[in-house]
C-alpha cells in the first residue's frame, strides 16, 4: 500500500543570526541562532537546537529544547527537554519529557495551555501585518 509523501515546511533561524522581536509562523520552526522576544507557532513544532540561545516566550503545539532557553514555554501537546538543554523559566504543557543530563531551573505547570494557545492563534490570525 502506498502512503502519500507529506512535505513538511519549516522556517529556520540560522546559527550566527540574532533577532529581537516577535516571530509568528504557520510552519514548523527551528532556531539555531539567538532570539529575544516571542515565538508564536500555535499549530506547529518549535525546535530549539543545541546552538540556540533563546530569551523568549514560546507558544507552540510542541517544543523540543536542545539549546539554552530563558523564558516561558507553552505547548498545547508536549515539551521535550533534551540532555544538551539548559532551561531557566516556566514550562506549561500537558506532557513533559526531560532527558537525563538536561539542566532545568524553574517551574512546571501541566495545565493552562488552552488559553495561551487560543490567544496566540487569535493574534496570529487577526493582528498579522496586512490583514
Residue from 103, 78, 101 nearest 89 by CA: 103
Q: Is there a contact between 67 and 49 (Cβ–Cβ < 8 Å)?
A: yes
CA 7/CA 14 separation, integer angstroms: 21
pLDDT digits (tens, 9 = 90+) for 24-55: 999 999 999 999 999 999 999 999 999 999 99
Record the cell numbers describing residue 52, joined without a space: 540556540
User: Where does the chain show beta strands of DSSP type E?
Assistant: 10-13, 18-24, 28-31, 34-48, 53-65, 68-81, 86-92, 96-98, 103-109
Is the entire prediction scored with pTM above 0.95? no
pLDDT digits (tens, 9 = 90+) for 80-122: 999 999 999 999 999 999 999 999 999 998 876 565 666 666 6
Amino acid at each position: 500500500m502506498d502512503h502519500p509523501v507529506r512535505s513538511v515546511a519549516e522556517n529556520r533561524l540560522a546559527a550566527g543570526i540574532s533577532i529581537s522581536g516577535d516571530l509568528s509562523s504557520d510552519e514548523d520552526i527551528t532556531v539555531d541562532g539567538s532570539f529575544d522576544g516571542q515565538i508564536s507557532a500555535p499549530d506547529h513544532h518549535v525546535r530549539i537546537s543545541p546552538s540556540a540561545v533563546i530569551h523568549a516566550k514560546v507558544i507552540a503545539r510542541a517544543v523540543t529544547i536542545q539549546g539554552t532557553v530563558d523564558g516561558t514555554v507553552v505547548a498545547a501537546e508536549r515539551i521535550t527537554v533534551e540532555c544538551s538543554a539548559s532551561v531557566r523559566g516556566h514550562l506549561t504543557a500537558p506532557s513533559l519529557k526531560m532527558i537525563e543530563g538536561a539542566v532545568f531551573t524553574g517551574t512546571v505547570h501541566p495545565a493552562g495551555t488552552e488559553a495561551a494557545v487560543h490567544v496566540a492563534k487569535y493574534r496570529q490570525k487577526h493582528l498579522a501585518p496586512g490583514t
